[in-house]
Amino acid sequence: MQKLLLFIDKVSTWVGQAFSWLIVALTLLVSWEVISRRFFDNPHAFTFDAMIMMYGTLFMMAGAYTLSKNGHVRGDVLYGFFSPRLQAGLDLALYLLFFIPGIIALVWAGYNFAADSWAIKEHSSVTADGPPLYHFKTVIPIAGAMILLQGLVEIVRCVVCLREGQWPSRIEDVEEVDVEKLKQMVHVKDEDIAAIPAAGKGAAQ
């Protein structure tokens, strides 16, 4: 079970990191448009729509990634003081009462939006010759489905925590420095580290 949970974490992480490159593309697009307008007096009407779609895609496709890292905003004023079992029970109740129904509604509505958009080959009406929107609206149900899948993983984690009394491990995106391995690499012992303040004090005297 843990392997399956971590595999889904890896999928969410890979998708989130892949779509994070849209930040680079968005930065280049904005820079190009500013230069084109400022120095060449050649604005492009489609860039406004393109910027919105790129940022929207990034925002939606990063949802499952953020959830897999337990990075969504929460009110931690009291939550952090709760025991793991109480945290898991509270999370489980919120997932079942609000998260699952809300995300299912998002997937269903997103699917209908995308289907209607594809049926009429919808284009943006912000400008006279706006870019197509149907591919962008397709992202809505896909992102919702990924968040739903990751949410099911989090529900399983809550159940495991209720049974075992501690949260199961999850993949960390940025690994913390392994101090012990670092000591081995540079051949430093604890006694050497403890002697540093004493050596500094002696030098000062």
Q: Average pLDDT of 50-54?
A: 91
Q: Average pLDDT of 33-52?
A: 88
Q: Average pLDDT of 124-149?
A: 89
185 in a domain, yes or no? no
- Rounded distance between C-alpha atoms, residue 17 and residue 10, angstroms: 10
195 in a domain, yes or no? no
Query: What phi-psi label fits residue 124: left (phi over 0), alpha (psi between -120 and 50 degrees) or beta?
Result: beta
Provide the pLDDT for residue 22. 93
Helices then strands, each counted (H, E), the chain:
10, 0
Of 2-16, 62-76, 84-98, 172-186, minimum mean pLDDT range: 172-186
191 in a domain, yes or no? no
Q: Average pLDDT of 7-29?
A: 92
Burial of 141 (0-12, 13-18, 19+ CB in 10 A): buried
Report the candidate in 24, 66, 86, 83 with the shortest Cα–Cα distance to residue 154: 66
pLDDT band at 24 (very low <50, low <70, confident <90, very high): very high
183 in a domain, yes or no? no
199 in a domain, yes or no? no
* Maximum mean pLDDT: which of 45-59, 87-101, 191-205: 87-101
CB 54 within 8 A of CB 132: no
Is pLDDT at 112 greater than 70 in this prediction?
yes
- Rounded distance between C-alpha atoms, residue 183 and residue 193, angstroms: 10
Is pLDDT at 61 greater than 70 in this prediction?
yes
- Backbone torsions φ then ψ of 154, nearest 5 degrees: -65, -35
197 in a domain, yes or no? no
pTM of the model: 0.77
Residue 35 CA, distance from chain mean position = 31
Is pLDDT at 172 greater than 60 in this prediction?
yes
Strands (DSSP E) contained in 63-127 are none
How many domains in the chain?
1
For 46, the domain range is: 2-177
List all residues 6 or more positions away from 16 whose beta carbon is below 8 Å from its beta carbon: 61, 62, 64, 65, 66, 68
- Rounded distance between C-alpha atoms, residue 59 and residue 76, angstroms: 23
Which sign does the torsion angle of CA 69, 71, 72, 75 carry? positive
Provide the pLDDT for residue 186. 64
Provide the pLDDT for residue 194. 65
47 in a domain, yes or no? yes
**Greater confidence, 23 or 183?**
23
25 in a domain, yes or no? yes
Q: To the nearest whole number, what is the mean pLDDT of the chain?
A: 85
Half-sphere exposure of 95 (CA within 13 A, CB side): 20
**Greater confidence, 54 or 199?**
54
Is pLDDT at 181 greater than 80 in this prediction?
no
